């Protein structure tokens, strides 16, 4: 019954059973099987490749940290002799999710205060808590906690902006996660550097030290046009150009920021960045809620990646980003959670769900952002927004082996008529059954394999007690 429903769905999909059969015939013609590290078989493989291939009873072959082949299980079983085999019957196999905007150590400030005006929230709670508690240890344990949450819920790559970013990089790498680690630059003293000049000098060394890491891409992250001077923005841009490193920045997040930049520079944040020469194909711009048509034209022209954060934008009452327009223009718009203090979790399934629903409500049009497009935003388009789509974001031969398995036979997932609709509107982070990054299994059978979860939770509780004593609203 389950399979007959799947077949009903597949009759309407552009899957290639005939292609698969042809491929199987081609490869059954006598060549000896090739040895591979890992073969995952039996799942419903949703590739997110340019043709939108989906394979019922599919398989993925992995050698080292790369995907060697994707296709029908019968075909791959005849072509490859695996050192390790994993079954994924009754499961979906999907590219790992890409979280395009995050401040991961802020897990330790999750829910410290909610339901306040933005400036109260920032000045009475977030900034003082950061000034009092953020150091390398805080960042280490906050990142480990975030990695545990993200690996469990199927995120395989995240883009971060915070302080002590080398500690974020170390913690993410030892957990086995792929990340862009962006060192925050501000005009005022930060927890890790007293002056902007010191932060910039340190960031240059950070870009040099981590430039060749297989999992971590170091980045420079000027906080926003209203917190970083034109001179410092130019210095960040020069570093990004010198080391071909990503540049992460918040842009046009709130109406207040828009007004502030207009008053100070007589222009919009995007046009201000353009005038300074900061926009480039290395930039990842978070939010862009108040970007007007000229702004989006400029962002598009430079190939800037956009990180859309619907939950943070809703919770902080920032507004609704014009992402339907951006997507129509062909821009790379990914999904992000933003920091866990303004979300309050790192679960990308909720962000996907709200990405679709918020645009439908805002435009009063049920046809905008169909489910398949939202899944693309959380996978291949998100990878494009991070300028990493040649490496990750889809299940294709040659790409890094970052993929997740999802349960299918659960009450809230039955019956199944359209897998994309399910992925956006019905799946939860808790439906992830296995997470693989760079060919390495990090989560399986309910267990995290690279993190000591009880220890991470115990540390989080220690921080809770310390921080709550000073900051929690009564
Ligand atoms: Zn942010």
140-154 pLDDT, tens digit each: 999 999 999 999 999
Which tens digits make up the pLDDT trace of 308-362? 999 999 999 999 999 999 999 999 999 999 999 999 999 999 999 999 999 999 9
Q: How far is the CA of 4 from the centre of ligand 1 (A)?
A: 45
Q: How far is the CA of 325 from the centre of ligand 1 (A)?
A: 22
pLDDT mean over 29-50: 91
Instruction: Give 251 Cα–ligand 1 centroid separation in angstroms.
Output: 10
Confidence of residue 470 (pLDDT cuts 50, 70, 90): confident
In sequence order, the 6+-apart residues with CB closer than 8 A to the CB of 437 are 96, 151, 156, 176, 177, 178, 215, 400, 401, 402
- Cα(265) to centroid(ligand 1), Å: 23
**What's this model's pTM, rounded to 2 decimal places?**
0.93
Pairwise CA distance, residues 103 & 98, whole Å: 14
Q: Are the C-beta atoms of residues 107 and 346 closer than 8 Å to each other?
A: yes
What is the predicted pLDDT for the residue at 353?
98
pLDDT tier for residue 6 given thresholds of 50, 70 and 90 = very low
pLDDT tens digits, one per residue of 365-392 = 999 999 999 999 999 999 999 999 999 9
458 conformational bin, left if phi > 0, alpha if psi -120 to 50, beta if neither = alpha
Dist. CA 102 → ligand 1 center (Å): 6
Q: Output the six-digit token pair for 402.
A: 């970052």
Beta-strand relationship, 80-87 and 91-95: unpaired
Q: So what's the pLDDT on residue 121?
A: 87
Quick: pLDDT tens for 40-55. Answer: 999 999 999 999 999 9
Check residue 10 and give its pLDDT.
42
Q: What pLDDT does residue 362 have?
A: 96
CA-nearest of 237, 230, 238, 212 to 267 is 230
Q: Look up residue 412 and give its DSSP letter.
A: G
Q: Which of 32 and 443 is assigned the larger pLDDT?
A: 443
Higher per-residue pLDDT: 15 or 433: 433
In angstroms, what is the span from residue 319 Cα to ligand 1's centroid? 14
- Distance, CA 286 to ligand 1 centroid (Å)? 7
Q: What is the Å distance from ligand 1's center to 162 Cα?
A: 9
Q: Give the bridge partners for 284, in sequence order.
A: 248, 305
User: Which string of DSSP letters, residue by residue, matches 9-77?
Assistant: HHTTS---HHHHHHHHHHHTSSPPPEEEEEEEEEEEEE---TT--EEEEEEEEEETTEEEEEEEHHHHH
pLDDT at 27: 43
What is the per-residue pLDDT across 183-207, written as a single tens digit (0 to 9) for each? 999 999 999 999 999 999 999 999 9
Ligand 1 centre to CA of 338 (Å) is 5
Output the CA 248–ligand 1 centroid distance in Å.
10
Contact status, residue 379 vs residue 98, Cβ threshold 8 Å: yes
Distance 307 CA to ligand 1 centre (A): 9
Cα of 205 from ligand 1 centre, angstroms? 24
pLDDT tens-digit series, residues 117-126:
878 888 888 9
- Tell me, what's the pLDDT at 5? 39
Distance from residue 186's CA to the centre of ligand 1 (Å): 14
Taking CA atoms, 275 is separated from 162, 187, 243, 265, 278, in Å, by 26, 19, 22, 10, 8
End-to-end CA distance of the chain: 53
* Rounded Cα gap, residues 402 and 177, in angstroms: 10
What is the Å distance from ligand 1's center to 341 Cα? 10
How far away, in angstroms, is 110 Cα from ligand 1 center? 14
Structure token pair of residue 141: 């344990």
Domains of the chain, start order: 2-95+394-448 (2.30.40.10), 99-385 (3.20.20.140)
CA of 289 to the centre of ligand 1 (A): 12
pLDDT of residue 140: 98
Q: Are 215 and 179 in contact (CB under 8 A)?
A: yes
Å from CA of 228 to ligand 1 middle: 15
Q: Which of 187, 148, 183, 189 is nearest to 167 (CA)?
A: 183
pLDDT at 231: 98
Q: Using omega within 30 degrees of 0 as the cis cutoff, is the peptide bond preceding 472 cis?
A: no
pLDDT-above-70 percentage for the chain: 93
What's the CA-to-centroid distance between 353 and ligand 1, angstroms? 19
Q: Which residue(s) pair with 41 in the sheet? A: 59, 87
Residue-wise DSSP of 67-89: EEEEEEHHHHHHHEEEEEEEE-T
Taking the CA atoms of the chain, what radius of gyration do you get in angstroms?
A: 22
Quick one: pLDDT at residue 274?
Answer: 98
Cis peptide before 415 (omega within 30 of 0): yes
Question: Distance, CA 451 to ligand 1 centroid (Å)?
Answer: 25
472 — pLDDT class (breaks 50, 70, 90): low
Dist. CA 449 → ligand 1 center (Å): 29
The DSSP line for 336-388 is: ----GGGTS---HHHHHHHHHHHHHHHHT-TTSS-HHHHHHHHTHHHHHHTT-
How many Å lie between the centroid of ligand 1 and the Cα of residue 473? 23
Ligand 1 centre to CA of 31 (Å) is 52
297 alpha carbon – ligand 1 mean position (Å): 23
CA of 288 to the centre of ligand 1 (A): 11
Expressed in angstroms and rounded, the spacing between residue 250 Cα and the centre of ligand 1 is 6
| 471 pLDDT tier (thresholds 50, 70, 90) | confident
Which residues are in the CB-under-5-Å shell of ion ligand 1?
A: 338
């Amino acid at each position: 019954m389950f399979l007959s429903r799947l077949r009903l769905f597949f009759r309407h999909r552009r899957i290639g059973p005939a292609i698969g059969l042809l491929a199987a015939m081609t490869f059954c013609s006598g060549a000896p099987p090739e040895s591979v590290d890992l073969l995952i078989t039996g799942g419903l493989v949703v590739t997110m490749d340019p043709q939108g291939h989906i394979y019922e009873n599919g398989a993925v072959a992995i050698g080292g940290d790369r995907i060697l082949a994707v296709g029908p299980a019968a075909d791959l079983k005849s072509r490859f002799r695996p050192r390790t085999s994993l079954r994924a019957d009754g499961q979906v196999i999907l590219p790992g999710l890409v979280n395009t905007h995050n401040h991961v150590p802020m897990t330790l400030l999750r829910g410290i205060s909610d339901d306040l005006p933005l400036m109260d929230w920032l000045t009475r709670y977030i900034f003082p808590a950061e000034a009092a508690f953020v150091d390398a240890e805080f960042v280490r344990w906050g990142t480990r906690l975030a990695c545990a949450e993200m690996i469990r819920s199927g995120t395989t790559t995240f883009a971060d902006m915070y302080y002590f970013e080398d500690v974020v990089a170390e913690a993410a790498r030892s957990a086995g996660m792929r990340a862009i680690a962006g060192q925050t630059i501000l005009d005022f003293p930060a927890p890790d550097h007293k002056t902007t000049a010191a932060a910039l000098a340190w960031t240059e060394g950070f870009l040099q030290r981590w430039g060749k890491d297989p999992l971590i891409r170091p980045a420079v992250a000027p906080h926003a046009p209203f917190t970083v001077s034109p001179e410092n923005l130019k210095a960040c841009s020069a570093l990004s150009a010198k080391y071909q490193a990503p540049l992460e920045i918040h842009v046009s997040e709130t109406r207040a920021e828009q007004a502030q930049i207009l008053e100070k520079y007589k222009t919009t944040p995007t046009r201000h960045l353009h005038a300074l020469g900061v926009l480039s194909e290395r930039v990842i711009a978070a939010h862009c809620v108040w970007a007007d048509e000229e702004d989006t034209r400029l962002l598009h022209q430079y190939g800037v990646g956009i990180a859309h954060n619907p939950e943070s934008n809703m919770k902080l009452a920032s507004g609704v980003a014009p992402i339907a327009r951006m997507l129509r223009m062909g821009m790379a718009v990914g999904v992000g959670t933003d920091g866990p203090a303004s979300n309050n979790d790192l679960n990308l399934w909720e962000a996907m769900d709200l990405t679709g629903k918020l645009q439908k409500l805002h435009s009063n049009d049920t046809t905008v952002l169909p489910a398949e497009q939202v899944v693309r935003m959380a996978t291949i388009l998100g990878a494009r927004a991070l300028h990493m789509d040649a490496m990750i974001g889809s299940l294709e031969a040659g790409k890094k082996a970052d993929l997740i398995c999802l349960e299918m036979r659960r009450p809230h997932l039955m019956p199944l008529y359209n897998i994309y609709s399910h992925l956006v509107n019905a799946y939860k982070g808790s439906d992830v059954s296995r997470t693989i990054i760079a060919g390495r299994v990090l989560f399986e059978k309910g267990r995290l394999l690279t993190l000591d979860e009880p220890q991470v939770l115990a540390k989080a509780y220690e921080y809770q007690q310390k921080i709550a004593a000073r900051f929690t609203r009564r």
